[in-house]
């Protein structure tokens, strides 16, 4: 008679905690900026702006916090949407999306008004991070604006998906697709025109293609 050892029980993985996708509140901007800073720290454009790896996260969090605060001002609310994916019941911010509304004649402007630059303390950028970083940041932004202008005749008015990220610890749970679907539905319900996103990341490119986006170029 053969004896068999009883196989040890393998615990089943716990289901992921429930989440909400809601408009980002002003008191969540710091947490949202930190999520974006961790997600974009190795992104080529930010590596160009701040070549020193150890200093880049601080720059990203500082700039993006002020950028989002301007986005969420009374004036900024008319310019688009800021969404947050939050874990329930902790309300921890796990993901962020910034979506700029188009104008009737073309893409909406991402440029901040002078009073917003002053109010958010962005004039301190060269003093905190240096003239070189400031110059490269402005140069990188202007290059992206020129690229969008080349697409304007072909696309007309369009929404612009500016930043989107899910914190690394919360990835592989479908949160990115959930955020993207909600943003696109809400945007196109308000104004039915394309949603444009610009990325140089192959992983991000594959993600957007899987979620129904198609590629365009300035030659169309």
List of domains in the chain? 19-210 (3.40.630.30)
Backbone angles phi, psi at 5, to 5 degrees: -75, 140
Calculate mean pLDDT across residues 190-196: 85
- Which residues are CB-contacts of 203 (< 8 A; sequence separation ≥ 6)? none
Average pLDDT over all residues of the chain: 80
| Residues forming beta bridges with residue 85, ordered by sequence position | 21, 95
Amino acid 220: pLDDT: 47
Cβ(87)–Cβ(28) below 8 Å: no
* DSSP 8-state secondary structure symbol assigned to residue 193: S
pTM of the prediction? Answer: 0.79
Map residue 42 onto helix, strand or coil: coil
Using pLDDT thresholds of 50, 70 and 90, give the confidence band for residue 79. Answer: confident
Calculate mean pLDDT across residues 205-211: 90
- 66, 124, 172, 174, 198 from 133: Cα distances, Å: 16, 12, 34, 35, 22
pLDDT tens per residue, range 108-140: 556 666 666 777 788 888 999 999 999 888 887
pLDDT tens per residue, range 47-58: 999 999 999 999
Using pLDDT thresholds of 50, 70 and 90, give the confidence band for residue 105. Answer: very low
């Amino acid at each position: 008679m053969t004896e068999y050892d009883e196989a040890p029980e393998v615990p089943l993985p716990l289901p992921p905690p429930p989440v909400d996708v809601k408009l980002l509140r002003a008191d969540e901007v710091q947490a949202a900026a930190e999520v974006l800073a961790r997600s974009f720290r190795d992104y080529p454009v930010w590596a160009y702006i701040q070549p020193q790896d150890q200093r880049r996260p601080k720059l990203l969090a500082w700039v993006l916090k002020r950028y989002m605060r301007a986005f969420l001002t009374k004036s900024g609310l008319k310019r688009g949407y800021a969404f947050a994916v939050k874990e329930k019941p902790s309300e921890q911010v796990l993901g962020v999306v910034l979506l700029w509304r188009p104008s009737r004649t073309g893409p909406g402007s991402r440029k901040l008004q002078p009073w917003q630059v002053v109010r958010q303390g962005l004039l301190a950028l060269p003093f905190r991070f240096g003239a070189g970083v400031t110059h490269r940041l402005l140069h990188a932004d202007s290059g992206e604006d020129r690229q969008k202008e080349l697409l304007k005749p072909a696309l007309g008015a369009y929404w612009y998906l500016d930043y989107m990220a899910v914190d690394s610890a919360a990835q592989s749970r479908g949160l990115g697709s959930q955020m993207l679907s909600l943003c696109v539905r809400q945007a196109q319900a308000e104004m039915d025109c394309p949603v444009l996103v610009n990325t140089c990341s192959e992983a991000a490119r594959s993600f957007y293609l899987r979620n129904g986006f198609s590629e365009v170029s300035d030659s169309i």
